[in-house]
Amino acid sequence: MNESVLSMKGIHKRFMGVHALKGVDFNLKYGEIHALVGENGAGKSTMMKVLTGIYEKDSGEIQFQGKLFHPHNPTQALTAGIGIIHQELNMMEHLTVAQNIY
């Protein structure tokens, strides 16, 4: 299947004078696995937070399963089938690794 399940085109996000995402394009096809790799401050977390509704994009377009997608909060994204495990997780020492993730 060559069809895209998710695409982000021309995504921009600014924070008080800082242009964190400058025209980001991303395309994910069914069955693909991607890794976002880059230096601190490259915009990896910001991109994922836009995708999962934590941040609103300033401009650009997101399509998910062939439809325009405008997540306004994480619950909306999760209901659509898009979730995230944050790298900044606060671990609970009394729980196992699996329990901390789920």
The chain-wide mean pLDDT, for the chain, equals 90
Whether pLDDT at 90 is above 90 = no
Average pLDDT over residues 10-31: 95
Average pLDDT over residues 38-53: 92
Q: Is the full-model pTM beyond 0.85?
A: no
Residue 76 vs residues 40, 53, 72, 79, 81: alpha-carbon distances, Å: 28, 7, 7, 5, 9
Q: What is the CATH number of domain 4-101?
A: 3.40.50.300
pLDDT in tens, 64-87: 999 999 999 999 999 999 988 776
Residue-range domain boundaries for the chain: 4-101
